[in-house]
Amino acid sequence: MSWPRMAGCALWFAVVSLFVLFARPVGLAAQSACKMTAEVANLTSSDNSTELRRWLSEKKDPDYCDARGRSLLWIATWRSQQKNVELLLQWKANVNIEDINGATALHVAAEKGNVPILNLLIKAKADVNRPDARGRTPLSQSIVSQQRSVTIRLLQAGARADTVLHNGWDLLMIAALQGRDDLIADLLKAGAPRDGVNEYAENALEIAIKSAHLKVVQAFLKHGWDVNRVNPMRNKRTPLMLAAESGQAAMVRLLAQGGARLEERDALGCTALFLAVQAGHFEATHALLGLQADPNAMDSGKLRPLQVAMQPENAGTHTSIIKLLKENGAR
């Protein structure tokens, strides 16, 4: 598999995972108390608070919502209208009103990375640990914002780092998926669990490798992650095998430097080198041979890497790998 194709696989994994983690659910019943009209919604169409101030003076209801449960405060936050947010808070708007997906204005501010509005909401006693319908908290949403200051501010305000979403993903997994190497130390210091796994028994290190985030893996290794952990749901494969099979040569070298065992075998008796050859990854194969991986280690079916490379279905695609294996003593 070529590097562009491997990168495309990593991108596909990231996109699908992001959809699963962050797509908002639909079909939930709207809150009956929320009946905001288009006219009212237009009050927050700009950050000029004059019309909103007039309307509040007449109606005296800062918690008016639309059919999706989005309050005036929620919408003003989404539109990054700090003046309107300030005005609504002056009118004692409820900062913890949820939309039909359970998201509050603080969820929105965290996801958008708006620190000034985030601070206003926190000062107004917004619940920093309130989960939405998927179990996502403002802290988990802040990781998507790509602004470390947002995450740090929420942690300072008491946000819990041991949050687990309804699908089993924890904050370190989300940080790994997002490539947030800058947050690993902060989350660990705040109490994020190190041993969490998702529905496929993948931990944060494996997710970082699948997403091709080298710096995140470096951060995990710095904090003592187990580079030889066996995934019971993935044919007992290790992080090194995952990197080799996906053709990530630099990742292979990094994991080896971190203590990954080259000759570890999966449930089918395959080593990392065997998997790299089988998948047709020249650079990963070259990296493993350079690290002195055994070129003749057989799988449980008594096949050697060279035999796999020379199989008819690999004709014309494994020529360079065959030459490389022979140069390194493969039989």
pTM recorded for the entire structure: 0.85
Of 172, 198, 197, nearest to 186 by C-alpha is 172
What counts of helices (H) and strands (E) characterise the chain?
19, 0
Classify 226-331 by CATH class: mainly alpha
Report residue 42 as tokens. 């237009």
Exposed, middle or buried: residue 145 (CB in 10 Å: 0-12, 13-18, 19+)? buried
pLDDT (tens digit, 9 = 90+) per residue, 293-305? 999 999 999 999 9
Q: How many CB atoms lie within 10 A of CB 331?
A: 10
pLDDT at 325: 97
CA distance linking residue 217 with residue 110, whole number of Å: 25
Across the chain, mean pLDDT equals: 90
pLDDT (tens digit, 9 = 90+) per residue, 154-210? 999 999 999 999 889 999 999 999 999 999 999 999 999 999 999 999 999 999 999
Exposed, middle or buried: residue 282 (CB in 10 Å: 0-12, 13-18, 19+)? buried
Read off the pLDDT of each residue in 59-65 and give the average, rounded to a whole number: 90
Question: 156 vs 88, 127, 178, 185, CA distance in Å?
Answer: 24, 13, 22, 15
Count CA within 13 A, CB hemisphere, residue 227.
22
Beta bridge partners of 237: 231
pLDDT (tens digit, 9 = 90+) per residue, 64-93? 998 899 999 999 999 999 999 999 999 999
Contact 286, 249 (CB under 8 A): yes
Length of the chain: 331
Share of the chain above pLDDT 90, in %: 79
Q: Find where tokens 């926190």 sit.
A: 122
Task: Give the confidence band of 9 by pLDDT, cuts at 50, 70, 90.
Answer: low
Q: For residue 43, what is the DSSP state?
A: G
CA distance linking residue 153 with residue 162, whole number of Å: 16
CA distance linking residue 249 with residue 8, whole number of Å: 16
Instruction: Tell me the longest C-alpha to C-alpha distance in the chain.
Output: 87
CA distance linking residue 129 with residue 139, whole number of Å: 8
Question: 124 vs 11, 46, 137, 155, 260, CA distance in Å?
Answer: 39, 22, 17, 16, 49
